[in-house]
Structure 1
């Protein structure tokens, strides 16, 4: 039976979440009774800030972000006026996006998405390349390209290792012919002496244990060198192909959404400088314009890389000539086992991640909510949520900052009441991991560009 001492100990270790929940609740009469008064709403926000700064229920830096969300939300100040005490508005949006991306990176959610997409692609190099480019482009729409590429590069290295080994390894029981090698979708640039298979077997049959003729030794040496050169060339082609696909798709995906690259945010800010706030492009309008173009570019890039490195042309010819052992499947790998080595590698990598955690599921819900908020700010085909607030107060950067703050507050583990639990409350995100993710140098660089444009208004 739990004692009063255990209950107090439990409340002490969970004091941070209690402060976060009870403070707005206890101060709510300021809003309920005098909501029409701007001073009352301002006092509500100031009281919350005073409590959080005094108790440090969340890091001081996180508390400092609260005015960016609460002042515009309660109509105390416009978003532009609040941002003047921090940085320009698109800087605030970019920082908030980086904070949310750091939460995704902390739990490896983007790696899980990438591995899952590659598993669905199977073991064919062309399908693997397409899946890699699609998932990289999708992640780059929301996360900075450098973070996406750095996360997927280890997966690409493992893929190239397995593909190059599978496409050059010769089984002792069954030797692959040239036609069988083409099912990998790789052209083999042999730069060695070609030896007829029948002559090769005849030469090998004449080899004696005590003494091997010099000619036979030379032939065997040339075959080994040709095999090594073959494997080296295949690995180089695969490495170049997959790395180019990774970079191309990251660049295209970053241009598909308004928040995928800071340059889009600068352009949108310039429209407001030179014209007015109505000239700014909404997230939904940018997506409707740019996403189809970038998707078409991504597919063209995949086709070009496949034709140049993976011999997609032979696959198309074989499909039309019906040179496939299984109907409806073109240029598939002829797997001796039910599962190819590359598929086993991906499954192992995915299983090492373990089952989906509470934090990952929570982040998926948070991120889907944020995507809907961005898209329906001003969709044009219907009234957006921006029309519910006075003009200039609540913007997409306001809601994005609020979602970033939620990442610091939501629990990292499934909530449960256990009096004997003495572990302190931890949120989905800690400030140290968020701070490490934010490219402060890029923010300074972008601010310098924006400053040069400002006087031209």
Structure 2
């Protein structure tokens, strides 16, 4: 899952962010602390009055000072998010302070509702399930089982590791997934060195480390709980555009995209870094030994697996079943079951179901490891989005770009994806998504295109950063293995970034139009 970019999901950088935190007030932080409010003031002064576009035949209305205040606060927050002048979760609390002070008619309670969005509880429940899988080592067993079935061919081993990593990251933090898979991968690299008198197959090691890192990010786009930008998208669309994306609906988009991307990423890696040896004798024995050392499935693993299957089945199939006529008549309550409700049901069951007389599946000491900072970031991002819409700022932005309405849709999609992809190489993907979603929503309205046409490419691109170690925690983890340098990551990541742009465009014209009924 994402627990996924200072906060990214854990998605973006527990690794990167903690390193920064240990350095105190760095130059970039000091610059950010000063630049944030200064830029906010400049934006406020530059936008004293904004004409709101109305319907045909109607005169334009001048927006109140609230729009300028919202724009100023957003600029301030965006700078602090990007530079991490304060820890990202702390900056995410600024809407609770600044909007009530500067936006007329806005109370703390009005802003606080964004921090209790149903989508945040969906992600919280997903995190709980992921923590339970990690507590009982179920995720490791699943990964080792998948890898154990791919044979000893080096290219096949890389593919097997990528499949296992991608599948686990659909449900578990991509950071945690990479941390779990890396030692297993390093064991295989060491095994090759043992057979070659201490000489490592450098290309195989590089391809395997990058494969694990890239698959952790790619797999996370498959589900709504896989990566924080997906969660932000669902909440933003529901609260600002009355568009409700279901878990199963998104999987029809994300899962095929991830599957194709994993295959292409594997092909690129074995071509750019072709292994020097073709077969690793003893690799499968090593992996099976790891599985044997885990012993038979424990009662805790079996129970968590059952709840995992229940949650996945419910998220995907309950909306479908609820739409069946006979079911709707016999059990009308089924139609009110939400993804967040399913997540919270599973979370409570984790605490209720005992493994033995003294041990529940989940205890609070484990639960407090939830990335609470990410949930605060979600709340802050949703608060900004709500104020964008409520103040009329989104409508004003739409009016400014209305002249671009004739630009071909494929150019818009490519431009949005490219911009977000570049930014997320350097900053938190969740913070990037939180900043851009309300802006792109306004642009979509002004250009008279479906809001999903711009929102979905931005969200997909926010998770697909492959060129730099600081882009995602999995990238940083692979870089820290010692088998990947900056040049190699740039070499492999550049190709994957270009493929990401192409697949994003193809997804919009194929899967999104089919699964979500979007007209491009």
Q: Same fold (TM over 0.5)?
A: yes
| Structure 1 residue 257, shift from structure 2 partner | 1.1
| Structure 1 residue 392, shift from structure 2 partner | 8.8
**Larger RCO (CA under 8 A, 6+ residues apart):** 1
Quote the residue 2:351 is aligned against. Answer: 408
| Structure 1 residue 238, shift from structure 2 partner | 2.6
Work out whether residues 386 and 394 of structure 1, in 8 Å CA contact, stay in contact via their aligned partners in 2: no
Work out whether residues 155 and 275 of structure 2, in 8 Å CA contact, stay in contact via their aligned partners in 1: no
Quote the residue 1:49 is aligned against. Answer: none
| Structure 1 residue 164, shift from structure 2 partner | 3.1
1:394 aligns with 2:423: no
State the distance in 2 between where 1:354 and 1:390 align.
42
Work out whether residues 386 and 395 of structure 1, in 8 Å CA contact, stay in contact via their aligned partners in 2: no
1:161 aligns with 2:125: no
Quote the residue 1:290 is aligned against. Answer: 254
Would the alpha carbon gap of residues 161 and 301 (structure 1) be closer, same or farther in structure 2, given more than 3 Å must change?
same
| Structure 1 residue 261, shift from structure 2 partner | 1.0
Q: What is the TM-score normalised by the length of structure 1?
A: 0.56
State the distance in 2 between where 1:431 and 1:274 align.
34
1:451 aligns with 2:383: yes
Work out whether residues 125 and 163 of structure 1, in 8 Å CA contact, stay in contact via their aligned partners in 2: no
What is the CA deviation profile of residues 75-99 of structure 1, one whole-angstrom value per residue up to 9, with x for unaligned ones? Answer: xxxxxx9x95972211111111111
| Structure 1 residue 446, shift from structure 2 partner | 2.3
Choose the corresponding residue for 1:237, options 203, 209, 212.
203
Work out whether residues 378 and 386 of structure 1, in 8 Å CA contact, stay in contact via their aligned partners in 2: no
Please show how residues 53-452 of structure 1 align to structure 2 within 5 Å.
Answer: 84=113, 87-166=116-195, 168-169=196-197, 231-232=199-200, 234=201, 236-276=202-242, 279-310=243-274, 340-379=281-320, 383=324, 388-389=331-332, 394-413=337-356, 424-436=357-369, 438-452=370-384
State the distance in 2 between where 1:138 and 1:379 align.
23
| Structure 1 residue 376, shift from structure 2 partner | 1.5
State the distance in 2 between where 1:249 and 1:358 align.
30
Work out whether residues 240 and 386 of structure 2, in 8 Å CA contact, stay in contact via their aligned partners in 1: no
Would the alpha carbon gap of residues 360 and 380 (structure 1) be closer, same or farther in structure 2, given more than 3 Å must change?
closer
What is the CA deviation profile of residues 268-289 of structure 1, one whole-angstrom value per residue up to 9, with x for unaligned ones? Answer: 111122321xx21111111112
Work out whether residues 140 and 180 of structure 2, in 8 Å CA contact, stay in contact via their aligned partners in 1: yes
State the distance in 2 between where 1:237 and 1:442 align.
36
Work out whether residues 97 and 400 of structure 1, in 8 Å CA contact, stay in contact via their aligned partners in 2: yes
Which of 1 and 2 has greater Rg? 1
State the distance in 1 between where 2:235 and 2:218 align.
21
Would the alpha carbon gap of residues 289 and 381 (structure 1) be closer, same or farther in structure 2, given more than 3 Å must change?
farther
Would the alpha carbon gap of residues 386 and 406 (structure 1) be closer, same or farther in structure 2, given more than 3 Å must change?
farther
Q: Structure 1: state its 5+ residue gaps.
A: 1-80, 170-227, 316-330, 334-339, 414-423
State the distance in 2 between where 1:304 and 1:259 align.
27
Q: SS of 1:260's equivalent?
A: coil
| Structure 1 residue 352, shift from structure 2 partner | 0.9
Would the alpha carbon gap of residues 304 and 295 (structure 1) be closer, same or farther in structure 2, given more than 3 Å must change?
same
| Structure 1 residue 381, shift from structure 2 partner | 10
State the distance in 2 between where 1:237 and 1:389 align.
58
Q: SS of 1:427's equivalent?
A: coil
| Structure 1 residue 158, shift from structure 2 partner | 0.8
| Structure 1 residue 309, shift from structure 2 partner | 1.8
State the distance in 2 between where 1:405 and 1:98 align.
13
| Structure 1 residue 114, shift from structure 2 partner | 1.1
Quote the residue 1:66 is aligned against. Answer: none
Would the alpha carbon gap of residues 386 and 299 (structure 1) be closer, same or farther in structure 2, given more than 3 Å must change?
farther
RMSD (Å) for aligned C-alpha atoms: 2.8
State the distance in 1 between where 2:156 and 2:322 align.
36
Q: What is the TM-score normalised by the length of structure 2?
A: 0.50
Q: SS of 1:378's equivalent?
A: helix
4+ residue stretches of structure 1 with deviation over 4 A?
Answer: 83-86, 384-393
State the distance in 1 between where 2:320 and 2:193 align.
47
Work out whether residues 318 and 334 of structure 2, in 8 Å CA contact, stay in contact via their aligned partners in 1: no
State the distance in 2 between where 1:356 and 1:105 align.
14
